[in-house]
Amino acid sequence: MRILGVDPGSVQTGFGVIHEEQASLSYLASGVIRTSPASSIPSRLKRIYGELKIVMECYRPDVVSIENIFVARNVRSALKLGHARGVAILAAVNNGLEVVEYTPAEVKKTLAGSGRAEKSQVQHMVRALLALSELPEPYDASDALALAICHSHSREMKRMMKALAR
């Protein structure tokens, strides 16, 4: 199974693609879609949509794991984040992909054992779990990979629970 993780943002949207086979994870790709803060919101959203569409066509994920909205201090930032999330979800749905959502705390707890883990801790765990020679950078890309890993681990846990229930 291929999992695409998306860490949405109106200026930087991180993406990360992993392959899961028999509970073994391997790294396929990661990066950041950058837009100009000086550009209009519609043009930034168009770029995010277009670039995610290319990633989806290139790597053919089976599912998209995206960060769920959390309460932000700045309402304007939260609205822009919501727009970027919506575009990422639309790109996935238009490509016939299932979309799953995880809160930042769920991702941090799954990877680092604490819902309050620092970004650097999550980044180091991503490196270890994917056996990467270097830290995945920037944080937007490592957060996207963390979302993909979180979904893989969540699926594995559900499989184990189902097996125990039999």
Active-site annotation holds for 140: yes
Among 62, 140, 143, 156, the one annotated catalytic: 140
- Sequence-distant contacts of 87-90: CB under 8 A, at least 24 apart: 87/8, 87/45, 87/48, 87/49, 87/52, 88/6, 88/8, 88/13, 88/48, 88/49, 88/52, 88/64, 89/64, 90/49
Active-site annotation holds for 67: yes
Q: Are 100 and 64 in contact (CB under 8 A)?
A: yes
Among 21, 67, 98, 156, the one annotated catalytic: 67
Among 7, 20, 51, 143, the one annotated catalytic: 7
CA pair distance 64, 14, nearest whole angstrom: 13
Active-site annotation holds for 118: no
- Which active-site residues does the annotation give? 7, 67, 140
